[in-house]
Structure 1
Amino acid sequence: MALQNIDFQREYSLPTEEFIDVLNRSTLGERRPVNDVARIESMLKNASLIITARNNGKLLGVARSLTDFAFCTYLSDLAVDVQFQKSGIGVRLIRETKLHTPTAKLILLAAPAAIDYYPKTGMTKFSHCFLLDDVNALVVKG
């Protein structure tokens, strides 16, 4: 499918079922709480920026970000239906996200299978990232 047949746009709300569907069609659903509807609803409600890729209304891809629109944008979810991957939709979703936050640095954590994808888009690999899942893992001194 040619990119000119795809509408890229900012959406201020996205139906939960539609988001879960594209997550599952992209394989990102394997690493997202797609069976916890309340948590997915919260993810959507608290997103600062949602960019979608649609063809005749059908959701083909989504970029969901948390941003202050000035300094940093965390691209939390980049999902493209597997049938449309490698067609440029993912790169265009990244581009549209960056265009909506031009002064902010765009940051994302790559899925293991996508680590080799992002350098091909022109993004720079950055090794200084840290992750905390469990607050009890923090070492507090004093």
Structure 2
Amino acid sequence: MTQPLSAEERATLKSAAFGAVYLVSNAEPGALSMIKESLAASNAFARTTGLVRELLTTGNLPQLPSGASADVPATVLPALRRSVEILRTKAPGEVASYRSAVLHATEVVARAHDGISANEAAVLASVREALDSAD
């Protein structure tokens, strides 16, 4: 890491990652699927390593977006782009790990209940685009 991450930057990275999971989970709502998806996301993040694992599995709970479901992407997707920018500046060696962790967690969540639906696939594509557009 070239520079330490501030508390605000850590919160952005964590909230963006969990927000991406939240987006996928809400693409196909349902109580049973939400439980399976939450466990899948937790397990996926717990399997990461290094700084990314520390960021995603320690500290305060992430601040998830509130408001209407249609408004959530307007918060989460820019936060994902900002997260990549933060890492590129302060911990460039962690960018690929962060992207991989978020993409893996969202894909695991999408598959957790009856496979990936069309709505989930669309959300996965928007998450991938947000993570890649910061280049």
TM-score, L = length of structure 2:
0.37
Structure with greater proportional helix content: 2
- Ranked by relative contact order (alpha carbons within 8 Å, sequence separation 6 or more), the top structure is 2
- Which has more radius of gyration? 1
Structure with greater proportional strand content: 1
TM-score, L = length of structure 1:
0.35
